[in-house]
Amino acid sequence: MNSNLDHELAELAKSFGPQWAELNNRVTGDLQEREISKHALKTGDKIPAFSLPNAEGKLHRIMNFKGKKYLVISFYRGQWCPFCNLELKALQRELSSLESIPSLLVAISPQTPDKTRETQQKHQLGFEVLSDVGNKVAKQFKLVYTVPDFLSKVMLEGGLDILDYNGKGNLELPMPATYVVGSDGIILKHFVHEDATKRLDPKAVTAFLKSL
């Protein structure tokens, strides 16, 4: 049986119709050819130590677990992405369960701090939302790709300019990904997928952490 988030993502994808599905399949195929998920950080790897500003501009040191036992990192593309928004909402719904384990949840995107703040306020997110302008951290996780020309053209024709969200000259995005990390910085579980409609349900993260 599909999880709540799986169902929501599938219904949203279906609502966009066959032309969008064809485009998404083309983008997914393009990313699969680049083998990004193959080379991205995975279970057993150690994450880099880094700091990023949160929605209020305060620098957040990622290895400061603030007394938590685990760290959950969600990389998302931006508030312009409806699938990312569904995932962020699902993370918020699961926040109290994750914190009770206890684990620290953060979400990261290449959006500018202003857009990051808009995202957090729009969805009333109770966890840290960090701004990775230039995808500097996402590149360390080996998640970044340059938006293909055919996709950029379709986005612009539809009134979506990623530069408005990521800043001038930045046509790179991270593949959506989730990492569950131990206090030693070692990745305990990872989920990286070329298809932007596929995400790891936060309920599965909670179940995994409770099984440890």
The string of pLDDT tens digits covering residues 47-62 is: 999 999 998 999 999 9
Domain count, the chain: 1
DSSP H or E run through 59: strand 59-61
Contacts of 48 (CB under 8 A, 6+ apart): 137, 140, 141
Question: In terms of Cα–Cα distance, which of 77, 36, 88 is closest to 160?
Answer: 77
Tokens 């929605």 map to which residue?
55
pLDDT value of residue 212: 94
The domain containing residue 62 runs over which residues?
4-211
User: In whole angstroms, what is the distance from residue 102 CA to residue 70 CA?
Assistant: 7
pLDDT value of residue 2: 46
- Residue 29's identity, in one-letter code, is G
User: In whole angstroms, what is the distance from residue 130 CA to residue 134 CA?
Assistant: 13
Q: Which residues of the chain have pLDDT under 70?
A: 1-3
Domain of residue 15, CATH code: 3.40.30.10
Chain centroid offset of residue 79 CA: 11
pLDDT value of residue 155: 94
* E strand intervals along 62-199: 70-75, 103-109, 128-131, 144-146, 172-174, 177-182, 187-192
Q: What is the pTM of this model?
A: 0.95
pLDDT value of residue 111: 96
User: In whole angstroms, what is the distance from residue 138 CA to residue 135 CA?
Assistant: 5
Tokens 């959506």 map to which residue?
176
